[in-house]
Each structure stands twice: as structure tokens, then as C-alpha cells.
Amino acid sequence: MQSFWIKVRDDIYFVSPINLQGIKVFNVNIRNEEISFVSSKKDIHCLTKTQLDAGLLKEFARKIASYIVT
């Protein structure tokens, strides 16, 4: 899978996907924090413990999920 850009709350972020033993991990730098999301069969979840707003992380998960589905 190739890297891609997503727009969340009027900002554009670079998403770098990697495949770790069949598990898709998506790394994003959000406000100078490297945040990792993992793809399960049903959803995208945040792996990184962070102080970022949970709503913001859910938006990222939705955007990443919509990108990989299309």
C-alpha cells in the first residue's frame, strides 16, 4: 500500500502505511506526535497512548478507513 494524504479539520496530514506480519499499521504525525493506527477486520483503532482529543483521533480513524476501502 502506498502513502497518502488526508484532510482532517482543515489540515492535511501524510499517512504512512506499513504491513507488519499481515497487520496494516498507519503512522501519522499529528501535532508533532507520531500516532499509529491499526486496521482490524471491522475498524481502524489508535494504538498510541496520547493526550490528543479522542474525537480528533476518531476522525483520523474514519478518514483512514474511508481511504483504504475505496
32-52 pLDDT, tens digit each: 999 999 998 778 999 999 999
Segment 4-22 shows an average pLDDT of 94
| Cα of 57 vs its chain's centroid, Å | 8
Q: Looking at the chain, how many residues does it have? A: 70
* Element housing 68 (H / E): helix 54-69
Segment 11-24 shows an average pLDDT of 93
Kindly tell me if the per-residue pLDDT of 70 is higher than 70: no
CA dist 38 and 47 (Å) reads 7
Higher-confidence position of 62 and 40: 62
Domain count for the chain, please give it.
Answer: 1
Residue span of the structural domain in which 19 resides: 4-69
Q: Give CA separation, 22 vs 10, 33, 48, in Å.
A: 32, 25, 19
